[in-house]
A and B are shown apart, each in its own frame.
Chain A
Amino acid sequence: MYTASDLRKGLKIEIDGVPYVVTEFNFVKPGKGQALYLCKIKNLLTGAVLTRTFRSNDKIDQPRLDHKTLAYSYPDGDRLVFLDENYEQVYMSTDIMGDARHFLSEDISVEVLYHNGRPIEVTLPTFVEKAIVHTEPGARGNTATNVLKSATIEGGYEIQVPLFVNTGDVVKIDTRTGAYADRVSKR
C-alpha cells in the first residue's frame, strides 16, 4: 500500500485492479484546508490518461509488477516469439508493441513489464540499427538534416530520413519516437 505522500511522477499504482503510472503530480493545499494531490495518471493497459485527486489519508494499491529481459527470436503469425534466460520460448501478441515491433531484429534484448504475470509493455533498446532497403536518391551534395524523405527499412517499415541517406546505408533509429537519429555506415 502507498499513501498519498508517496505519490510522485513516474510512480506506478493500481486502482480497481488496473495498473497506472503517474504522469503529472501537483501538491496543493488551500489555506487551513487539507493537502490534495492532483494527479494525471496513465492506464498502462490502454494508454488512456485521466485526472485523479488524492487526499493525504488515501491508501493506494501497489501493483504487482515484474521485469524480465527477453531476447527476440522470430515472428509467428500474429505472435512474436522470444527466448528467456533459460532459452524457453515466450509468446506475445504483436499488438503489445505497436509500431515498435518493426524495430525488432533477431537476438535483440527487450525489457518486458508484467502485471500479475501478464506482459503489458515491451521496451526496446533506445536505439537500434537498421539497413535501408530502398529510398529515392536525394539531390547530390545535399547534406541538410532538416529536409526528410521516406525510406524503407529491412522488414518493410517506412521511416523518414535526411536526403543524404541512400539505399544500403545503415541508420540508427530512436525506438521511442521512430525517428532517424544518425547514419551508422554508408553503402
Chain B
Amino acid sequence: MTLRRLREQTAALEMRARILAAVRGFFSDRGFLEVETPVRIAAPALERYIEAEPSGEAYLRTSPELHMKRLVAAGLERIYQIGPCFRRGERGRAHRPEYTMLEWYRMDADYLDMLVDAKALLARVFEEACGGTTIRYRGREIEIMPVWECRTVAEVFRERAGWNPVAAFDADRFDADLVTKIEPSLSPTRPTVLTDYPVQAAALARRRAEPPHEVAERWELYLGGLELANAFSELTDPAEQRQRFEACAAARAAEGRAVYPMDEAFLAALEAGLPPCGGVALGVDRLVMLATDSDGIEAVRPFDA
C-alpha cells in the first residue's frame, strides 16, 4: 500500500469517523451502553457456513453475538458494540476476512422492534454523516427515508424463483436462488427488508410466535444492492439452541468443516434465563461504502489490498 493510495482513501476514513460518531450519539441518546467483548474466543458460534480463523488454541470471533447475549442475560438491557470480526476465506466485492461489525441488543424487543431501531439509526447516521437521507450510490439515488419495503422470504421466492423454501427447505437451492434471482430483483432505490426466513436458515433466531411457525423471526436489510444488516428475535430456549448447535456440528463434520467447541457458558446463560430480546448485526464497512459511493469494500478499508 503506497502512501499515495492511502492519501486517496483518507476521505473514506473521515466518513467512517463521522458515521461512528453518529452511531454512538444515536445509541447513547437511547440509553444503550457501549460494551467490549473478547475478540479472541474459545467457542465461535456454530453456524453451518461461517468459518472461524484459528488463533493459537482459540479462534478470532466471527461475531460478538454469544458474549453480548450473556451480557443481556446478566441484566444489561440495552447494549451495543462496534469492533472487528473475522471470517475465514471471505473475500469479494463486499467481503473481507477482517471487517467491522456493529451489533446491538435490546431486552423485551423482537425483530420488528429492532427494525424500528434500524430505521431510526440509519435516518440519523445519513442525516449527520452525509447531510441528508437521499444518497447517490453507483449512479442511482437512494431514498433512505421514509419507505422501507418489507417482503417475506416465502413471497419473494414464490414470485421470483417459483418455489417456497419455507414449505420445503433446500439449502443449496435457497442460497443460489437468493443470490442469482432474489437479490438482483430488489429495489435499487429504496431500502428493502426480507423477513421471516426458514428456520433452517436462522441458527440463532426464535421461531415465529404467530403462525406460520416454520419461519424464524429474522430479517435482512438491503440497501443499494448491498446486504447491510441482519436481525433476529433471539432464540432463548436452551434445549432448542443446544439441539440446533448439535445439528449444525453434525452437518459441519459431515462436510469436512471444522467443528468448534460448544459454548457451554452461553448455553448456561440461556438455562439461567435469557429474557426475550432482539439483536441486529450491521456491516459498518458497507455503510461507509454507501456513504462514500464506493463500489468495493477495499476503498473504505485502506490497508486491505
Contact = CB atoms under 8 A, between A and B. Distances in A.
Interface in A11-27: 26-27
Nearest to A30: B178
B95 A30 contact: no
**Is chain B's binding surface mostly helix, strand, loop or mixed?**
mixed
Interface string A27-45: 1111111111010000000
Contact of B179 (A5, A36, A56): A36
Q: Which of the four size classes fits the interface of chain A? A: 10 to 19
Nearest to A25: B92
B118 to A, nearest CB: 14
Interface stretch (B67-75, B77-85, B126-134, B168-176): B168-176
Given A32-B47, A38-B180, A57-B255, A26 B93 contact: yes
A23 to B, nearest CB: 16
Contacts of B93: 26-27
A178 B49 CA distance: 48
Contacts of B95: 27, 29
A36 B89 CA distance: 12
A145 interface: no
Given A5-B89, A27-B92, A53-B180, A32 B202 contact: yes
B180 A32 contact: no
A29 B201 contact: no
A35 B89 contact: yes
Contacts of B203: 32
Contacts of A26: 92-93
Nearest to B90: A29
Contacts of A36: 175-176, 179
A53 B176 CA distance: 8
A55 interface: yes
Contacts of B92: 26-29
A56 B49 CA distance: 10
Nearest to B175: A33
Interface in A61-75: none
Contacts of A55: 172
Interface in B72-117: 89-93, 95
B230 interface: yes
B230 A30 contact: no
A33 B180 contact: no
B183 interface: yes
A7 to B, nearest CB: 11
A38 B179 contact: yes
Contacts of B49: 29, 32-35
Interface string B148-189: 000000000000000000000001101110111001000000
Nearest to B230: A31
Contacts of A35: 49, 89-90
Interface of B: 47-50, 89-93, 95, 171-172, 174-176, 178-180, 183, 201-203, 220, 227, 230, 255-256
Q: When A and B form their complex, which 8 residue pairs have the shortest distance between CB atoms, in order from nearest?
A: A27-B92, A33-B175, A34-B49, A30-B178, A31-B230, A28-B179, A34-B175, A31-B220
